Structure 1
């Protein structure tokens, strides 16, 4: 009686399965397969956001094991074998019945389970020894297929249209952060944003993103990003505060994500409340430096590059150029990275930071976000989403990086 809204092509799923297996053999050679619990990761491997897990053996077909959602899975993941279960202790028997028995060592996405559930899994499956399969899964998801890239390119195109072309015609100085946030949502929804932003870091939440007018850009933040914000309330530090107005002669930063078919792009657009040409020299210089850093990163994000080295170069460059104090945040807001992978989650692997030294590969997608905090004024800078090609990274969220002046 029902039809699926969309189905991931069988060939696409097979490509993902083999990529995970290849990385598992490299990174977890003792493991005989990957057991995945996080719903977005289950979707990545099957095409359905099932409540349960998916078992991907090194040899044999994957098996989707669900507590709930069997009928929906039959619609959305018709090529994936599926069975229901009630307790973790049922999993080995179901896998054996399907001809893909659990080996002694099983890799699991530990980030997809709470400590409580992880201990419960280990208690219910005493014959198995569990190791972390998180890195293999993260690297696999960082390598986008052409099918995924097509979705992300469309997402990025609409993202730029919303923030650069449409929204400046609707906002004006004197509006509150909340009013601007609501207008941004309206524009995004009209362009097809599907209403959810996902993050993988434990405890992190994101709803629309940051709307920071004036000194809100440097407001103390507990979010792992350089842009401060007051937010709606201490219990909901997201979007923008109704009591903070965007005043003439001050910046406005909108760091908000777009999402289509589960895939995200990230973009920060900076605006200036005033006539064209009224941006103070200090502000223009700081913003221009961030644009230059973004351009250098894009040029050097080529296959084989090491993102840890790229980060170190830019951090040193900021100090030498006189922007060291506010680069990537002021005070406790300063963060030790310049960007991050992105895809089914905003905060994808890897970060452009010290310690991430696996060579960059073609098809990876990064959000590059050089920003600069100016004491007493706010934050300027850019963020855009880039696709890695053989000759460098290409922006998929527009080709204009200037501050937009709004009177």
Structure 2
């Protein structure tokens, strides 16, 4: 009776399974099957936001077991094997129905399941060894297909249109952070933003992003990013604070994501009042961030090592006069300068220590060099780049200077 809003092609899922299985063969050859629990990864491998359990064998067709939404899953996903289930105790029988046996060693997405559900799984799927394969899934998702890149290209174009072209016409000094955040939302929704921002690391969440005027950008933060903000309330530390007004003599930082058809781009735009004559250190700090972004973008090529790029960038910052404030002040300082992005804001790889796997063509990363300035606020940039043989191609615009309002 219904037509799906979009149906992922079988060949698209086949590409993703091929990459997963290739990494799986190299890194976890003892596993003969994989359990996936989180909806975001079920979507990635099936094309539907499934509620249940996905079993991927090393060979053969995946099986999607749905606690709820069976009819929708069959409508949206090209998978042949989609069945209802209520308990992990049914899993072995369901696999047997499809000619599969329950492996002795099972790869599991450990970050995609709660402790309580994991206990339930182990009580009902017994005498099996469970091996974490979260890193294999992260590395699979890091390499974007042409289908994904098209979506992120469009999201990036609209993101830039919103922050660089349209928002400056709607805001002015004297507005409070929350009023500015509402204007961002109005523009975003008008351009097709889907109203959701997704993060996958445990305990992290986001709503729209950060709108921070002046010293709000250096306010103590619990979010794993360089931009601080007061937020709306201690219980909802997102968007912007209605009690903080953007003054003419301070920068405004808008660090927000754009989501289209499930895929996100990340971008930070800084705004100055056209009546403000900022001190040279403010101008120079922003210029330094643009230079760092250009260096990173130039080196976003296959074979580049994220941890080495991180070391080079922090060496640049230490040689400048902005080392103390680079990537935020004090306890707000973060130990990365970029991150993968796609179905979630926080994806693999990260430009940080410990990320030693070389970049591959068609990975997508958000680069975000920023500098916190005591008593002033924050300046800097963030844009989303595609890794290519010629360096990073920016998906979110080509203008990186502050916009005068």
| TM bucket normalised to smaller | over 0.9
Number of the residue aligned with 1:304:
303
SS of equivalent to 2:268:
strand
Give yes or no for contact 2:367–2:382 (8 Å, CA) kept in 1: yes
For residues 228-377 of structure 1, the aligned pairs below 5 Å read: 228-275=228-275, 278-377=277-376
Report which stretch shifted further, 389-398 or 25-34: 25-34
Number of the residue aligned with 1:104:
104
Give yes or no for contact 1:249–1:274 (8 Å, CA) kept in 2: no
CA deviation after TM superposition for structure 1 residue 246, in Å? 0.3
SS of equivalent to 1:293:
helix
Structure 1 Cα separation of the partners of residues 335 and 273 of structure 2: 30
Question: Residues 332 and 80 from structure 1, CA distance in 2 versus in 1: closer, same or farther, beyond 3 angstroms?
Answer: farther
For residues 6-405 of structure 1, the aligned pairs below 5 Å read: 6-275=6-275, 278-405=277-404
Structure 2 Cα separation of the partners of residues 370 and 95 of structure 1: 48
Report which stretch shifted further, 278-287 or 192-201: 278-287
Structure 1 Cα separation of the partners of residues 364 and 123 of structure 2: 38
Give yes or no for contact 1:61–1:100 (8 Å, CA) kept in 2: no
Structure 1 Cα separation of the partners of residues 80 and 170 of structure 2: 46
Give yes or no for contact 2:62–2:79 (8 Å, CA) kept in 1: no
Number of residues of Structure 1 aligned to a counterpart in Structure 2: 405
Structure 1 Cα separation of the partners of residues 105 and 92 of structure 2: 12
Structure 1 Cα separation of the partners of residues 115 and 274 of structure 2: 51
RMSD: 0.9
Give yes or no for contact 2:67–2:85 (8 Å, CA) kept in 1: yes
TM-score normalised by structure 1 residue count: 0.98
Structure 2 Cα separation of the partners of residues 184 and 202 of structure 1: 27
SS of equivalent to 2:392:
strand
Structure 2 Cα separation of the partners of residues 383 and 365 of structure 1: 13
Structure 2 Cα separation of the partners of residues 79 and 106 of structure 1: 21
SS of equivalent to 1:294:
helix
Structure 2 Cα separation of the partners of residues 69 and 281 of structure 1: 58
CA deviation after TM superposition for structure 1 residue 274, in Å? 2.9
CA deviation after TM superposition for structure 1 residue 100, in Å? 2.3
Structure 1 Cα separation of the partners of residues 98 and 370 of structure 2: 52
SS of equivalent to 1:253:
strand
Listed one character per residue, the Cα deviations across residues 151-192 of structure 1 (whole Å, up to 9, x for unaligned) are 000000000000000000110000000000000000000000
Give yes or no for contact 1:156–1:258 (8 Å, CA) kept in 2: yes
Q: Structure 1 runs of 4+ off > 4 angstroms?
A: none
Structure 2 Cα separation of the partners of residues 195 and 110 of structure 1: 28
Structure 1 Cα separation of the partners of residues 394 and 258 of structure 2: 15
Structure 2 Cα separation of the partners of residues 199 and 300 of structure 1: 26
SS of equivalent to 1:67:
strand
CA deviation after TM superposition for structure 1 residue 28, in Å? 1.1
Unaligned ranges ≥5, structure 2? none
